[in-house]
Structure 1
Amino acid sequence: MRTPQRGRSPRRASSARRRLLAGGTTLATVLALGLGPAAAQADTAQLPILVTVDNVRAHMENLQTIADYNGGNRASGTAGYDVSAKYVIDQLKRAGYKPKKHHYEFDAWKQHSTPELAVTKPKEREFTAGDEFNTMTYSTGGDITAAGVPVNPDSAESGCAAGDFTGFPEGAIAVIKRGGCTFAQKTQNAADAGATGAVIFNNVEGTIAGTVSRLSDIPVVGTTDKVGADLLAVGGKLELRLKVDAEVVTESSYSVIAETRGGKKDNVVVVGAHLDSVEEGPGINDNGSGTAGVLETAKQFAKLGTPKNKVRFAFWGTEEQGLVGSTKYVESLSDKQLDDIALYLNFDMIGSYNYGRFVYDGRGELAGSLRPPSGSAAIQKTFEDYFADQGLVSEPTEFSGRSDYSAFMAEDIPSGGLFSGGDAVKSEQQVEYYGGTAGMDFDPFYHTPDDTVENINWDSVDELSGALAYSVERFSKSTLPVNGVAPRTLHAPAQAGNEFDRQGDLWLR
């Protein structure tokens, strides 16, 4: 397979300026050279130099080996996850940390057999699971054959209001268009109206990988836009069969947490990446890459001495089943402990094969972004300035709730981070920015058995791990632009015989 074009490394891009500073160049000289304050800070940072791509790669190769010998994946609840956690804990202990497991219980949704969706009347037709439809996670089980009744399908908010179901025949299967509100709300409205099942069809091309978050009252699946159009075309004689074989069971898992011994306890910088993979593969990009980047940063950070702000490194469990580990952790904190968190940095996929340099949208400028907490824009600017100093283009990416920053943002904690791209398609313009292949997904191996160390773009790992390391070092020193907390400045008390002679214009002695 053709390897994507490579961008130049941030380590190489500013090496000349780093050599100047290493040789004793002053800040004034740096400013005179036109590099500016941001460039000066980036070039004096030690951590991006200590965190090498070779060491990050070694962690990713070790996670690959763990998956290879433990069923081919590192999903929560498997031996692959447990051994991955032991690896992270051992590495942290070697660096001088005292890592702890944060245990939690959660409702795990299990699907026991392939779901079925078919037209039974007026003309039989079966749809293919995976290609044409998917079960919404946390759908309840059931096997129903009933009339299929469209619910206000011409509206962009189909099924979002109880009034959409006026006159809905009890016992029918609701056929609903995506958009306007959550799948859970549409499904609950259908159940309240007497529906025995729900089919939600996409409002854009492709299938839906969706969730109703908590166990639903009725079975629910999501289909492609084409399946939806075909169902609507049948008209009033439509009859459907919908079968889902699933249940919710209580399971337990854990995240791994480690923090610096020193630093302000009431101004904590939390740095996180999810440790688990999907069941389908080893998850070396998603999210062995983020795990490796954060782990190596933690190891090298321990060499820099006592930070001004405490830094807490988190390796989340059960992300792939609904951001469970990070959510349970945030829910376990007291109000005081939440207030002590200055900001959260998230790193979920930093080695995508056909990569981009994406910074989370702390300014809230993208249509798909949630409203970011105040201070998130400063985190975004920190990453953008770092990349600009390396001569590298970056772009914003949506704060859409797809990763572990979600629970922190819900508590109004400033958040940010990096992402190298997933299942979106790279444009011609983005090829100019990053190299690679237009018309291909940023990560064509996302959530597949081929998410392996062989399909990692090491330039992406190099560039994004450099930015990761820089952000940790920067915010460990000061979070002033994020939350208004300035670094402490200690002044020695005045000594006898060394007092001022004046107070303003007036002599004291």
Structure 2
Amino acid sequence: MSIRARKRSWLSLVAVGALVASVTAAGPAAADPNNNSPKKLTKAVTVEGVMEHLTALQAVSDANGGDRAAGRSGYAASVDYVVDRLTDAGYTPTVQAFEFPYFEENSELQQLTPTPITYVNNRDFNRNGFVPTFIGEATGVVTPVDVVLPPPPTPNSNSSGCTAADFAGFPAGNIALLQRGTCGFNVKALNAQAANASAVILFNEGQPGRTGLVTPVGDTPGLAIPVVFATFETGNALAAPGPRTARVKVDFLAETRTAWNVFAESDEGNPNNVVMAGAHLDSVQDGPGINDNGTGSAAILEVAEQMAKVKTNSKVRFAWWGAEEEGLLGSEYYIANLSQAEQDKIALYLNFDMVGSPNHFFGIYDGDNSGGTAPPGFIPPGSAQIEDVFEKFYADRGLPKDDTEFSGRSDYGPFIAVDIPAGGLFTGAEGVKTAEQASRYGGTAGLAYDPCYHQPCDDIDNLNLFALDVNADAIATAVITFAFDTSTVNGVRAPGKSHGAGNSEHVGEAS
């Protein structure tokens, strides 16, 4: 649908801040219709232009609680920003709304005394999965109940909290600290409640393989106290000698919300031979998501602006996906709602998810499976030829490059699932840079490519500007190359002219 009417209603709901307003008002530099070659387009595409967009996305996050996650106000404001910039550049952007299961975890575990400690959700503890689950909180003295420390050598031999007798003399209102083993988690929790505990902290037993997090499950009729599960390390610390007080909170929200995909298409080009380039626009709930994936979103926005007047041979479609962090939901919805005929018109898809990691490497999706990590038949034919374009780009600049696994674990996954050739770039997430990579790329061996991956510190300072600058040019090069000639991928060079190479079954009849 047309974006203009809807976008105004979004803007009335979300205050994006003065910085975003000023950036939007400034608008893009006038696009040149002669940006029609890799050399011309890469000169027009600048890291300053990409950073202008990233600065705006940081301001969006700052004005909306510190994130840009799907289903929240920061994502709606991010959509508004992209739509405004595309409109100013001369596109007629469209949005595609879709509903998705929104989940927000607000559970907490804190030690209040003797030393305040705030434990990290999904690292040190997690909420239970009981049916029903009680939502509430309690503060009290932590009382270990029949725990065995150090743990017994045999797993599943600890009976902490399994019988009412374990709670003999338990002080009413205290928080029961229970250890995994012998009986069901639900049995332990209900026994603690019967002993008038105000909350329960269940922790893992401690043998090898039983130290991390699991999710307690089971039927808990009448459960009326908050229950969390903790790692062995956390539980062991809470069981240390001396009085300790803690706060246990179980709180979460689960409902259906709306997110949006944003699209912009070139005016020119064969509509039966579509070159797509996309990036996910949403962040996780725990941070602004400037590297993940503001970088990909900002880079393709800069490329789209600079290509706005270019008369391409193929139709070029740019996409900003919603709810990728919830499981590729936006791109999955898009592909699922395309007819087979419309799917067949897509010559190829280029994906850009994290292209400015601070401790970067230059990763190219391994379209020819030279690394042998993809199973037979997983990679659509034509993907190797996309990889070739990126490899030539880095080689021409005398820059190192690496294959990165062609796994389908970003928004190209739904495309390759329907046999559309794909490729893309990746500068690294939580993986650790090797010494060999550090010798070629610089940076720090033994440190994550992005130490702030999915964290609040993934902000405007969490970037490598050299990597971002290079990759913005790599993106521009690939998009403009295929905008004029997809023959290596599917046999189509110009509107209506098939050259017989590649997988022509992906291309509809020329108009």
Q: TM-score, normalised by structure 2?
A: 0.65
Mapping of 1:239-254 within 5 angstroms? 248-254=254-260
The separation in 1 between residues aligned to 2:487 and 2:155, in whole angstroms, is 54
The equivalent of 1:325 in structure 2 is: 330
Q: Is the 8 A contact 2:107 2:121 kept in 1?
A: no
| Residue 102, structure 1, aligned to residue 96, structure 2 | yes
Matched residue SS, 2:53: helix
Residues 480 and 204 (structure 1), Cα distance of their counterparts in 2 relative to 1, 3 Å cut: farther
Q: Equivalent residue for 1:338? A: 343
In the other structure, the counterpart of 1:48 is 42
Which residue identity lines up with residue 268 of structure 2 in the other structure? G
Q: Shift of the alpha carbon at 1:431? A: 0.9
Q: Of the candidates 361, 365, 369, which is equivalent to residue 366 of structure 2?
A: 361
Aligned with 2:461: secondary structure? helix
Check the 8 A contact 2:38/2:480 in 1, yes or no: no
SS of the aligned residue for 1:402 comes to coil
The alpha-carbon deviation at position 416 of structure 1 amounts to 0.8
1:230-273: CA deviation from partner (whole Å, max 9, x where unpaired): 9xxxxxxxxxxxx9866742221111111112211111111101
Query: Would you say 1:349 and 2:354 are equivalent positions?
Result: yes
Q: Is 2:273 the partner of 1:263?
A: no
Name the CA distance, whole Å, in 2 between partners of 1:269 and 1:150: 55
Q: Indicate the percent of aligned positions where both proteins have the same amino acid.
A: 43
Counterpart of 2:258 in structure 1: which amino acid? S
1:455-494 to 2 correspondences below 5 Å: 455-488=462-495
Cα contact 1:45–1:473 (8 A) shared by 2: no
User: Which secondary structure state, in structure 2, belongs to the residue aligned with residue 441 of structure 1?
Assistant: coil
Is the CA contact 1:359–1:383 (under 8 Å) kept in the aligned structure 2? yes
- Aligned AA (1:83): A
How far has the Cα of 1:366 moved from its partner? 3.7
CA contact (8 A) 1:67 1:80 kept: yes
Letter in structure 1 aligned against 2:435: E
- The answer to whether the 8 A contact 1:106-1:251 is kept is yes
Residues 101-500 of structure 1 correspond to what in structure 2 (within 5 A)?
Answer: 101-114=95-108, 129-132=121-124, 142=133, 248-304=254-310, 306-366=311-371, 368-369=373-374, 371-488=378-495
Label 1:173 to 1:290 Cα distance change in 2 as closer, same or farther (>3 A): same
> How far apart, CA to CA, are the structure 1 residues paired with 2:130 and 2:104?
10
Note if contact 1:346-1:405 (Cα within 8 Å) is conserved in structure 2.
yes
Distance 1:485 1:150 in 2: 62
Task: Give the whole-Å Cα distance in 2 for the aligned partners of 1:217 and 1:268.
Answer: 50
How far apart, in 1, do the equivalents of 2:392 and 2:131 lie?
47
Query: CA 1:207/1:404 → structure 2, altered by over 3 Å: closer, same or farther?
Result: farther
Amino acid aligned to 1:315: W
Does the Cα contact within 8 Å between 1:317 and 1:326 map onto a contact in 2?
yes
For the residue of structure 1 that corresponds to 2:317, the secondary structure is strand
Root-mean-square deviation (CA, aligned residues, Å) is 4.2
Contact kept, 8 Å, 1:318 with 1:325, in 2: the verdict is yes
1:134–1:207 contact (8 Å) kept in structure 2: no
Tell me what 1:70 maps to: 64
* Distance change (3 Å), C-alpha of 1:207 and 1:368: farther
Aligned to 2:76: 82
User: For residues 317 and 258 of structure 2, what CA distance do their matches in structure 1 show?
Assistant: 23
C-alpha distance in 1, partners of 2:456/2:288? 7
Q: Output the CA distance in 2 between the equivalents of 1:245 and 1:150.
A: 31
SS in structure 1 of the partner of residue 443 of structure 2: coil
Deviations 1:430-457 (A, max 9, x none): 1122111111100111111111112211
Task: Indicate how the Cα distance of structure 1 residues 78 and 109 shifts in structure 2: closer, same or farther if over 3 A, else same.
Answer: closer
Contact 1:115 1:245 in 2 (8 A): no
Q: In structure 1, give the amino acid aligned to 2:291.
A: N
Q: Is the 8 Å Cα contact of residues 110 and 249 (structure 1) preserved in structure 2?
A: no
Shift of 1:105: 1.0
| Aligned counterparts of 2:389 and 2:279: Cα–Cα separation in 1 | 19
Cα offset, 1:488, TM superposition? 4.2
Distance 2:105 2:88 in 1: 40
Q: Summarize the Cα distance change of 1:131–1:421 in structure 2 as closer, same or farther, 3 Å threshold.
A: same
Give the distance between the partners of 1:256 and 1:378, measured in 2 at CA: 27
Q: How far apart are 1:45 and its partner, in Å?
A: 3.4
Change (3 A) 1:296 1:44: closer
Structure 1 CA distance for aligned equivalents of residues 291 and 218 of structure 2: 36
CA separation of 1:217 and 1:173: change in aligned 2, threshold 3 A: closer
CA distance in 1 between partners of 2:131 and 2:50 (Å): 41
Structure 1 gaps, min length 5: 1-21, 23-41, 117-126, 144-148, 152-169, 175-198, 231-242, 491-509
**1: CA distance, partners of 2:337 / 2:218:** 28
d(CA) in 1 for partners of 2:81 and 2:290? Answer: 15
Would you say the 8 A contact 1:373–1:415 is kept in 2?
Answer: yes
Contact 1:344 1:413 in 2 (8 A): yes
SS at match of 2:83: helix
Is the partner of 2:308 in helix, strand or coil? helix
Task: Give the letter aligned to residue 363 of structure 2.
Answer: F
- Residue 399 of structure 1 deviates from its aligned partner by 2.2
- Deviation of the 1:274 alpha carbon: 0.8
CA distance in structure 2 between the partners assigned to 1:345 and 1:115 by the alignment = 42
Letter aligned with residue 484 of structure 2: K
